[in-house]
Amino acid sequence: MAYEKLYNEIYAIVALKYLWRGYRPGYVKSESPDWLNPEQSVGIEVSQALLPYDGQDASFLDSWLGRLSGEIPPEDKARYAGRLYFYNDRLWALLPDPRDTRDYAEKSLYRFRHKLEKLNKNFTVCGTNALYLYAHTTPEDKAGLRRLMADMNRSQLGHAKKFDLVFLDCESCIYIFDFNSGGMAEMPVGEKAKAFLEQQTERIRNGNIPEDF
């Protein structure tokens, strides 16, 4: 499921602020990556584990996610009928394509590789480069997560610039892949905690983004 981009970016930094032991204040909104902490030399890019079923999905998301309903051409609304979710009259999410049977690991690895290419081309490179990735699922076992972490790490071989951390948001838990130490940590997100994070995110999204977090 593809959610509105700015909401995702704000939720990620809010979640890390309250849950990540390595968090230090001083993050400012940026582009490529989405968040920068200049003093700590940390950059965090935010993305979703999406592997569009076809090129039309990708183009549609790039053009209309977060836009007002009235701005979306009627023919596009008709094409994606039943998959469009609006919040406050803005396109908030594109629901999964029922034809798509690929699992979260394949989608996560695809998005990781895509962002790795960007890190090596046009990102502001920091002492610590991180990717916050929404998996939109609850993994069945830790073995699958460790395989995904290993696959991501192998993908970085031969690249001059690498990600140091991946925060894999799996709804009820955010997993931290630390490629430097080889360890995997967990940040559980209970129902009450998730509701609080969503409330804080919506408040900021509908108001003004602070100069720094």
- Tokens 């894999």: give the residue: 168
Question: What pLDDT is attached to residue 140?
Answer: 76
Residue range 163-186: average pLDDT?
97
Q: How confident is residue 24, by pLDDT bands cut at 50, 70 and 90? A: very high
Under a CB-based contact definition with an 8 Å cutoff, are residues 2 and 95 in contact? no
pLDDT at 55 over 60: no
Number of Cβ within a 10 Å radius of residue 183: 10
Q: What is the pLDDT of residues 73-87, one digit of tens each?
A: 999 898 888 888 888
Q: Give the residue-averaged pLDDT of 99-108.
A: 80
d(CA 149, CA 155): 10
User: Dihedral through CA 210, CA 170, CA 164, CA 103, nearest 10?
Assistant: -130
pLDDT, average across residues 138-148: 90
Supply the pLDDT for residue 205.
87
* 120, 130 Cβ separation under 8 angstroms: no
Q: Does 179 or 103 have the greater pLDDT score?
A: 179
Q: Say if residue 151's pLDDT is above 90.
A: yes
Q: Give the chain's end-to-end CA distance (angstroms, integer).
A: 27
Q: At what angle do helices 142-155 and 104-119 cross, to 10 degrees?
A: 30
| Beta partners for residue 3, in sequence order | 93
pLDDT band of 3, cuts 50, 70, 90: low
Place of tokens 């798509």: 100
- Which carries the bigger pLDDT value, residue 35 or residue 62? 35
d(CA 32, CA 81): 32
Distance, CA of 201 to CA of 134 (rounded, Å): 15
Backbone angles phi, psi at 191, to 5 degrees: -60, -45
Reply yes or no on whether the pLDDT at 4 is more than 80: no
User: CA geometry: angle at 51 spanning 85 and 120, to 5°?
Assistant: 120
pLDDT at 184 over 60: yes
108 vs 104: CA distance, rounded Å: 6
**Rounded Cα distance, 174 and 7, in Å:** 17
Mean pLDDT, the chain, whole residue set? 90
Residue 1 pLDDT > 60: no
pLDDT of residue 134: 93
132: left (phi over 0), alpha (psi -120 to 50) or beta: beta
pLDDT of residue 2: 52
